[in-house]
Amino acid sequence: MLEIGADDLRFTWEDAASLFKELKTPGLSAKDVVTLNERTEGWVVGLKMAAFSLRNQKDVPGFLASFTGSHRYVMDYLMEEVLRQQTKEVKEFLLQTSVLNRLTAPLCNAVTGRKDGNEMLLLLERAHLFIVLLDESRQWHRYEHLFTDLLRHQLDVAFGVEKVAELHRRASQWYEEHDFPDDAINHAVEAKDWERTIKIIKEQYTKKLHNGEFITLFNWLQKIPEDVIHHDLDLCKTYGMVLLMVGQFDKAISVANYLEQTVERDNITMQGEIDFLRSHIAFY
């Protein structure tokens, strides 16, 4: 028996070029075809939706930059042909778990508050419902990118800002408990839960510092608004040192200046930290 799965049915860029030629799609370069094929992950219906849309487009580069699951043709198709045909339980699962870039049953359960994550993922996989397997053990999945865009758009409409933020907080907590600090921080940032974001960064700081992972620390801290960092003097001092380590000397000087203007003169410990930062800036 020859088994043909979803990956076998995905179009290559050559297949996509042939399709666009057959549909008489105007104004596409080879690079444009590659971009659309990557954006749709070789999904034929997505490519056709793009072709239909391009017929009325004068700004092809602008269209390519904005072509996502929220584009009206893709959304209309998916809404009619996919989401509205699902049961309430499946639809809620799809929407709630769309905040995740990767899916595994325990994580899905933590985010949704349900206990059927494994059964739901198996159901979606068997139904070929725009889900991609990420490992041979069938533990990790993700939704196809265009489908994720659609689901997240619908999630925002159906749930609102606060409920979506709560889903991100649950994801952040699960990732933190299972030692995935990057994912934990990313979801805390999405929830705009700065207290949680700062807590995880502080817990990871010494370990990352000893491992020389300065860029990781820098990228984490860049996600926090400057006024939030300024509100926490210890974090502000840490930010200054990290800026120094990644060669952002002007910004490190600005942090040192801010600390000098803010910290009380009788705070000997913090004054010593500022001098320490200043000496390293001078050295480098």
Provide the residue ranges of all domains of the chain, joining segments of one domain with +: 6-67, 83-176, 194-283
Rounded to a whole number, what is the distance in angstroms from the first to the last CA of the chain?
66
Confidence of residue 174 (pLDDT cuts 50, 70, 90): very high
Q: Residues 185, 191, 194, CA angle at the centre, nearest 5°?
A: 60
Tell me how far apart the alpha carbons of residues 47 and 11 are, in angstroms, rounded to a whole number.
9
Confidence at residue 78, expressed as pLDDT on a 0 to 100 scale: 67
Q: For tokens 């799965």, what's the residue?
A: 5
Domain 83-176 indexed as CATH 1.10.3430: no
- CA–CA separation, 166 and 189 (whole Å): 12
User: What does pTM read for this prediction?
Assistant: 0.80
Least confident of 53-62, 219-228, 231-240, 244-253: 53-62
Stretch among 12-26, 50-64, 162-176, 269-283 having the lowest mean pLDDT: 50-64
Residue 16's nearest CA partner among 5, 40, 7, 247 is: 40
d(CA 49, CA 20): 11
Assigned CATH topology for domain 194-283: 1.25.40
pLDDT given at position 80: 75
d(CA 95, CA 180): 23
- The two structure tokens encoding residue 166: 């709560």
pLDDT at residue 127, rounded to an integer: 84
Of the listed ranges 78-82, 85-89, 166-170, 200-204, the one predicted with least confidence: 78-82
